[in-house]
Chains A and B, each alone.
Chain A
């Protein structure tokens, strides 16, 4: 917990060591609160200048689907916010090829530019991380 609440101090103590943080998104956007919560944590983490990457797999790929309109369900459409990540210097967005294909989607269906990687490539990236946060 101290790593989150005391992030600035932590950075000073360790002389600004950069850790690799991966956020793994596996849930569709509106059925549960996971996707929105993950996005908020990602935005906050950007303040600590760490090496941040986001992975979208399983139903998590639906978070990035273009053309979301939530007015009728009275929920906040947070899909435009993924396009703000670049301004936060978060540009490592990975989508699992298998999950995308299984759902009949292509990179053109997504609101942001992403790197499409195989399950194998994603597994290797995951193994390289210092911290993996799952949503």
Chain B
């Protein structure tokens, strides 16, 4: 559907900019996508992105936002496991936007 070019490599994306192939992902891809959205990735962003990648590795799905919020709270504490914190980091929606940066498909049930 579309392509992005990161480090001289052309990567396929779907019409919404999600990577087609999980294996194309690298931290540079996340940096590139964030920059397109006018965002600079901080350590807090990376915490969520890495969490998502681990979640996917374990369960083979991208979690729904409610599930993500709860799971983040469990792992990183209640001050991070709430929608206010996550929406501040990812204004386009924590599940959608963070999943995209993490190279995952869009969460099941997201429209």
User: Cβ of A134 < 8 Å from any Cβ of B?
Assistant: no
User: Cβ of A119 < 8 Å from any Cβ of B?
Assistant: no
Are A43 and B59 neighbours in the complex by a CB distance under 8 Å?
A: no
> B9 CB to closest chain A CB, in angstroms?
23
Contacts of A78 in B (CB 8 A): 60
Q: Which of B58-82 contact A (CB under 8 A)?
A: 58-61, 63-64, 66-67, 70-71
**Which of A44, A47, A81, A87 is B60 in contact with, Cβ under 8 Å?**
A81
Known contacts A43-B64, A47-B64, A47-B66; is A84 also within 8 Å of B109 by CB?
no
C-beta contact mask, B24-42 vs A, less than 8 Å → 1, else 0?
0000000000000000000
Are B63 and A84 neighbours in the complex by a CB distance under 8 Å?
A: yes
**Which of A43, A76, A77 is B108 in contact with, Cβ under 8 Å?**
A43
C-beta contact mask, A38-53 vs B, less than 8 Å → 1, else 0?
0010011011000000
Are B64 and A46 neighbours in the complex by a CB distance under 8 Å?
A: yes
Contacts of B64 in A (CB 8 A): 43, 46-47, 88
Are B71 and A87 neighbours in the complex by a CB distance under 8 Å?
A: yes
Interface residues of B (CB under 8 A from A): 58-61, 63-64, 66-67, 70-71, 108-109
Query: What are 12 A-B contacts with C-beta separation under 8 Å?
Result: A43-B61, A44-B109, A46-B64, A46-B109, A76-B60, A80-B58, A81-B59, A81-B60, A84-B58, A84-B59, A87-B67, A87-B71
Interface residues of A (CB under 8 A from B): 40, 43-44, 46-47, 76-78, 80-81, 83-84, 87-88
